[in-house]
Structure 1
C-alpha cells in the first residue's frame, strides 16, 4: 500500500474513533497508533495533519492530539433555504453520474465502479518526471495560447490521423469538460441529441445540463444501427449525434467496419454533427484498433474528442477536440469565455510525457494488464454467477457489461453488492430512456490487483444469494 493510501486509511479509522469521543478527549499517541495499525510514524503524522486541516483534531505540542470542539455552522438547522428551489426552477442538472460510485471506494471495498485506473496501473513515475521537467522550462508559467500549446496540438493531430493538422485541434480540460463545451457549442437548448442506447452517463448529464434532449438509438453487437439512426434523424430533426465507435462505454463494442462509413453518411445526409468520443484510444488489449472516424471525414461532420485522463491519471486533465470550420471558431470563442486557456504547466507536462519512450512502455504494459484483468474477471463471473449474461468480452476499455436474470433489479443488486463490500455501477443510469432489462457495469481497472477481482466476483455471488433469500 502506498504512503498516501495508508494515510487516508488511518485517517478514516481515526474519524470513526473521533465520532465516539467527546471534544477535548485525547487520541492515542503516535507510538500507540504505529504499533496498533502497523504503519510508519510518518503516516501517523500525515493522518493527524489531515484531520487537523479538517478541523477534527487539535494538536498541542508536548501534550498530544485532542478532539477539536464541534463548532456548529452559523444558522445550521434554522435557515429556511426552500426559496432556492424556486430560484433554480428550470435549471435542470443531473448529479447522478458524479456522485457515489465515482468517488474512491472505502477501505476494504473491492472497486468495480467508476472508470479510472488503479494507481498501480498509472505511470506515476513517468508523470512525476514529466512534471518536473515541465516546471524547469523558463516559460512554464507564461500564459498558454487559447487553442493550446503547438507541440501538444501536433501530437493529438498525429493521433487523429488522416489530414488532421494542429490547427484543427483545441486543448481542453479533460474529456468531461470537452463534452460539456461541445454540447453547449453545437446545439441550442431544447434541441434533440441522438445517443447510443446504452451510453456513457456523463454524456447524458452534460447534454441535459446544456439543455439538450437525449434521444436513444439502439445498438447491437456491431454498434449503433445505421437504419434506426436514419429513422431517428428523420423523426426528430436532430442535428447532433453523440457516439463512441471504439470500445463503447459500457458495452465495449467496436463499431463494425461496414457501418463506420454508413454512420458518417447518415449524419452527413442529415446535415448533422457527429461527436466521436474516442476516450478509449489508448485502452486497447493488444488488438489492432480502427482509425478514428475523423480520419476519414472530409466534410467537417465529425467533432472528435480524446483524452489522456483514462490511460494516465485522473488528475491529468488534458483532452483534445478536433474540429474544422466555423465550429472550431465557435469553440475557441467559448474557451475565451469559459477560462481563457488550459493551465500551461499541465500542458507542458503532457508534452513531456507523450514525447518519451516511457509513455510507449506504459501503454504496452497497460494493454497487457487490462487484457489479463478482463479475462480473470470474465472467468470468475462465469464460475460464480453462471446465470448472469456477459454481453461480450471486449477487446479494449475498462468494463464488462452484464445482463441480470429476469426479476433481478440492478439497483437492488448494486445495493446488496455494496453491503457485501464490492462497488458496482447500476446499468439504469446508462440508458437515456427506458431500459430493456437490468444490467450492471463492472470495471476491472480500479481494483488493487487481479486476486481482488476474483474476490469481487465471489462477493457479488454472495450478494445475489442474499437477494434470493430475501425474496424467499
Structure 2
C-alpha cells in the first residue's frame, strides 16, 4: 500500500474496526472527509481497500458496516473419499522438473531451457502478429492449421532418404504439447491394461501418461547407446506388447543418441512383432555436436508414431507439438484429441509457425548450439574438479541434461534434501525409472539459469558427498 492519505485513513479505520463489535456502522463519508481533511475520492479509495481485505461491508443507500466474520471451521472433505472410491491410479507428486525455484538458488532441476536460450524477440513479434490476424477470432481445424501441418511434415520430409515415402501434411495431428500427444497415443492405442515397453530410465512424463491411460508399463534396460536389441526382443515376446516408447535422440534423462545401426535393429524388431515405436523427438532442436535424425524418416509402413515438440525450443508459453502417424492409428489418436480438447488454439499455432519460419529462427538455432555446448562443458568440468564423486559416464551430444551416478550406498532422497538446504536444487533420478531405480542417480540440467553459478553448485554437491563416510 502506498504511503498517502488513503493509507493513513485505512490504518485509522482498521484500529477502530478491531475495537468495534461486528455490524457497527462506520462514520459517513462526509464525516471521514472532515475528520481526515481528505477528498471524497481518497476516502472512497480507503474504503475499497478495507472492503477488499474483508473488514467491511458496504450497503448502498444504508451505510458501511464492520463485517461480521464467521469463525473459521476446519474443512472436512471426508465425504469425497467415499464418493470417489479408490483411485484407479495412485497419485504421483508433481515432478521435481516442474518446480519453480527462487532466484537465490542454483537450479539444476528444471526440464526447460533458461529464458536467455529462447528466441524471445521472434516469439514476441510472432504473438503480436498472431493477435492481430484471423487466428485470434476463428476456430482452427481439429487436426491443426494446414500451414503448420505442412511445416511439420516438411521437417520430417527433409530427413527422409531416397526410396522411402515421405509423410504428408494429412498425416500430422497438431497437439497442445508433446505431453498431451503422449497421453492421447497411450489412451488411443494402449488403454485397458495393455503392456507398453519403455526404455529404463526414460522421461517421467511418459511413464505418468502411460500409467494414467491404464497401460502396464514394462521397463527395457537402456544405456548410452540405447536399448539392448536382445532385451527388447525378449520383452516383446514375453509380454505381447504392441507399443514401445523411446527417445532415439538425446534421451531424457541420459542424453543417449542411438547409432544408425541401433535404430535399424530396433525398427526390425518392431516390424517383426507387428508393433508401434513411439518416437519422442522432444530435443530435435537441441543438438550440440551432432544433429537429430528421426527414425520415422526411414520407416513408411506405419510402425513409427513420431512426436515433435516446439514447446521447449520456441517458448514454454507456446505449447504446440505434432504427432505424425499414418493409417487407422491416426484416426484413433485424432478421435481422442477431439474428446480431450477439440482443437489447439489458433493463436498459439500461428505464433509457433511464424517463429519457426522467420529467417532469424535458423540463426537462433546455430547460436543455441554453441550456448548449450558451453554450458554442458562448464558443468561437466565443474563436476570433475569439485565433485569427482558425481560420475557422468556419458557426456551427451545434445539435449539439456547430464545423467550422473552417485557413490553406491548414497541415500539419494536425503542427498537431494541436503543439497536444497545448501541452496542447490537437483532432481532425484528415481523419477525417471518405470520400475525400481538401477542405482543412485541424479539428473542435472545444464540449460538452467545463471551458468556462472555452476562451479559453486558443483562445489556444494562435492562437499555434501565428501561429508559421508561411504563417499571417501
Fold match, TM over 0.5? yes
Determine the structure 1 residue equivalent to 2:64.
Answer: none
CA shift in 2, pair 1:86/1:139, >3 Å: closer
Determine the structure 1 residue equivalent to 2:137.
Answer: 141
Q: Is the 8 A contact 1:94 1:205 kept in 2?
A: no
Alpha-carbon distance in structure 1 between the residues aligned to 2:433 and 2:342: 34
Determine the structure 2 residue equivalent to 1:451.
Answer: 452
CA shift in 2, pair 1:463/1:83, >3 Å: same
Shift, 1:335, TM fit:
1.9
Shift, 1:125, TM fit:
1.4
Determine the structure 1 residue equivalent to 2:98.
Answer: 102
Determine the structure 1 residue equivalent to 2:171.
Answer: 168
Q: Is the 8 A contact 1:169 1:321 kept in 2?
A: yes
Determine the structure 1 residue equivalent to 2:222.
Answer: 219
Q: Is the 8 A contact 2:386 2:455 kept in 1?
A: no
Determine the structure 2 residue equivalent to 1:319.
Answer: 321
Determine the structure 2 residue equivalent to 1:254.
Answer: 257
Q: Is the 8 A contact 1:408 1:438 kept in 2?
A: yes
Matches within 5 A, 1:60-459: 61=45, 68=53, 76-81=73-78, 83-84=80-81, 87-96=84-93, 98-161=94-157, 162=160, 163-289=166-292, 291-448=293-450, 450-459=451-460
Q: Is the 8 A contact 2:224 2:255 kept in 1?
A: no
Q: Is the 8 A contact 2:95 2:431 kept in 1?
A: no
RMSD: 2.6
Alpha-carbon distance in structure 2 between the residues aligned to 1:304 and 1:398: 20
Alpha-carbon distance in structure 2 between the residues aligned to 1:102 and 1:139: 30
Q: Is the 8 A contact 1:217 1:229 kept in 2?
A: yes
User: Per-residue displacement from partner, 1:321-348 (whole Å, max 9, x unpaired)?
Assistant: 0000001111121222112110101111
Computing the radius of gyration from Cα coordinates, the structure with the larger value is 2
Alpha-carbon distance in structure 2 between the residues aligned to 1:281 and 1:434: 29
Shift, 1:158, TM fit:
1.4
Alpha-carbon distance in structure 2 between the residues aligned to 1:191 and 1:139: 39
Shift, 1:465, TM fit:
3.8
CA shift in 2, pair 1:65/1:83, >3 Å: closer
TM-score, normalised to structure 1's length?
Answer: 0.82
Q: Is the 8 A contact 2:388 2:462 kept in 1?
A: no
Shift, 1:99, TM fit:
4.2
Q: Is the 8 A contact 1:286 1:368 kept in 2?
A: no
Determine the structure 2 residue equivalent to 1:8.
Answer: none
Q: Is the 8 A contact 1:251 1:391 kept in 2?
A: no
CA shift in 2, pair 1:171/1:452, >3 Å: same
TM-score, normalised to structure 2's length?
Answer: 0.82
Alpha-carbon distance in structure 2 between the residues aligned to 1:292 and 1:420: 41
SS class of match (1:214): strand
Alpha-carbon distance in structure 2 between the residues aligned to 1:360 and 1:74: 61
- For structure 1, the 5+ residue unaligned runs are 1-22, 26-58
Shift, 1:101, TM fit:
4.4
SS class of match (2:122): helix
Q: Is the 8 A contact 2:383 2:458 kept in 1?
A: yes
Shift, 1:124, TM fit:
1.5
User: Per-residue displacement from partner, 1:120-156 (whole Å, max 9, x unpaired)?
Assistant: 2111111010111112223532110011011101111
- For structure 2, the 5+ residue unaligned runs are 1-12, 16-42, 56-67, 161-165
Alpha-carbon distance in structure 1 between the residues aligned to 2:453 and 2:344: 37
Deviates more, 1:138-147 or 1:402-411: 138-147
User: Per-residue displacement from partner, 1:21-63 (whole Å, max 9, x unpaired)?
Assistant: xx969xxxxxxxxxxxxxxxxxxxxxxxxxxxxxxxxx98579
Shift, 1:100, TM fit:
4.3
User: Per-residue displacement from partner, 1:207-242 (whole Å, max 9, x unpaired)?
Assistant: 100011111101133111111000000001111100
Shift, 1:466, TM fit:
4.9
User: Per-residue displacement from partner, 1:257-290 (whole Å, max 9, x unpaired)?
Assistant: 111111011111111111000000001114233x
Alpha-carbon distance in structure 2 between the residues aligned to 1:62 and 1:368: 55
Shift, 1:386, TM fit:
1.0
Shift, 1:83, TM fit:
4.1
Determine the structure 2 residue equivalent to 1:48.
Answer: none
User: Per-residue displacement from partner, 1:285-312 (whole Å, max 9, x unpaired)?
Assistant: 14233x2111111210000001011112
Determine the structure 2 residue equivalent to 1:38.
Answer: none
Q: Is the 8 A contact 2:389 2:462 kept in 1?
A: no
Q: Is the 8 A contact 1:389 1:403 kept in 2?
A: yes
CA shift in 2, pair 1:99/1:258, >3 Å: closer
Alpha-carbon distance in structure 2 between the residues aligned to 1:416 and 1:126: 40
SS class of match (2:267): helix
Q: Is the 8 A contact 1:318 1:347 kept in 2?
A: yes
Determine the structure 1 residue equivalent to 2:461.
Answer: 460
